[in-house]
Amino acid sequence: MFSNNQIFAAPLAGVTDRPFRRIIREFSPENPLVTEMISCHSLVAAHKNCLRNFDRYDDEGQIGAQIFGADATLMAEAAKILQDAGAKWIDINMGCPVPKVATRANAGAYLMRNHKLAGEIMSAVVRAVQIPVSIKTRLGWDDKHIDWLNLINVAAGCGVQFAALHGRTRAQLYLGNAVLPDVHDAPIPIIANGDIRNTSDVAHAESLGYAGVMIGRGLLGRPWALSEIAGGAVPDNIGLVVLKHLEYTIEYYGARSAVMMFRKHAAWYSSGLPNSSEFRVRVNSITDVNDLKREICEFWGCELNM
Ligand SMILES: Cc1cc2nc3c(=O)[nH]c(=O)nc-3n(C[C@H](O)[C@H](O)[C@H](O)COP(=O)(O)O)c2cc1C
């Protein structure tokens, strides 16, 4: 069974922001976490409308900062900024399938189709920083191009230290079951990603030669999921976890934005519980943060100390 430092939180754009990572950390002090993907353009230009461009990572433990882009010089520049901000390693996105990234910007999953450009980016980033560099990729572009091992070999040649492999192609997006290949022949450690939910999934990944596992959607509304998979308990009072996560969201984004940003989290936390659809409808119409706190307390039956 893998230990905590081999059970990673996946990068989830719009989800694994600093407030969510903070609540994950309370359950999982040792696990490696990866940030949401950060645009190298936005970071280098220090776009003010994107708070994550100004995050500091010194107090976040084992945290990798994920960048995406298609320009090797800008990617290297972005990696240096994140190293200076306290990231413990740099992760390069080579799997994002959305058209804005993969087809229009020649970044993310596009790099699986252009190993030359991928190699230039990886070499530039590895040269630019003193911390480890990893990549996160998929099996290939589609089922006719399952060439992840070629890309991993290029990565190893560029000095990339490890890779996360999502067991789907770009064409599959997030549909169908993830299928993990055997990685015993890979030249660098590979972290298994895709539909890892329980200890038998972890054992399966281990038997295929993986060096760890990475959990994405299993964390939605379940910031304790990394510790749970390693045998930890689910918290007794989930309402208090939700309230704390909301507090962290308010601290980071301010009360007005936090109410909007938190709607999706409230939906995930309540998913599957009795009366959750009515709860979601009410939460989606709330604009005042104190009303949101009251609604959360009422739903989970916890005390509100305002
Ligand atoms: C909402 C959402 C956002 C995602 N954002 C990113 C991202 O920023 N960078 C990345 O490499 N992968 C991203 N992914 C992919 C996940 O990291 C992961 O590879 C995928 O969800 C499969 O793992 P899972 O089955 O454990 O969720 C995202 C996935 C989802 C559902």
Q: Give me the average pLDDT of each 10-residue run along the chain (306 residues).
A: 96 98 97 98 94 96 98 98 98 96 94 98 98 98 97 98 98 96 98 96 98 98 96 93 98 97 98 97 97 97 77
pLDDT of residue 306: 58
Considering only CA atoms, which residue is closest to atom 13 of ligand 1? 12
Confirm if 148 and 125 have CB atoms less than 8 A apart: no
CA 168 to ligand 1: nearest atom: 22
Considering only CA atoms, which residue is closest to atom 18 of ligand 1? 216
Q: Which domains does the chain have, with CATH numbers?
A: 4-229 (3.20.20.70), 238-300 (1.10.1200.80)
Considering only CA atoms, which residue is closest to atom 22 of ligand 1? 194
Residues recognised as catalytic: 96
Phi, psi for 34 (deg, rounded to 5) = -120, 140
- Per residue, the 3-state secondary structure of 115-131, as one string, reads HHHHHHHHHHHHHHCCC
Structure-block tokens of residue 138: 């998929």
The verdict on the CB of residue 11 being under 6 Å from ligand 1 is yes
Query: From the CA of 305, how far away is ligand 1's center (Å)?
Result: 35
Each residue of 199-236: pLDDT tens digit?
999 999 999 999 999 999 999 999 999 999 999 999 99
- Looking at the DSSP bridge assignments, the partners of residue 177 are none
Considering only CA atoms, which residue is closest to atom 4 of ligand 1? 12
pLDDT of residue 304: 74
Cβ burial of 33 (10 Å; 0-12, 13-18, 19+) is: buried
CA 36 to ligand 1: nearest atom: 8
The verdict on the CB of residue 241 being under 6 Å from ligand 1 is no
Angle (CA) 51-55-59 rounded to 5° is 150
Structure-block tokens of residue 101: 């990234």
CA 217 to ligand 1: nearest atom: 27
pLDDT of residue 41: 96
Q: Which residues contact 254 (CB under 8 A, 6 or more apart)?
A: none
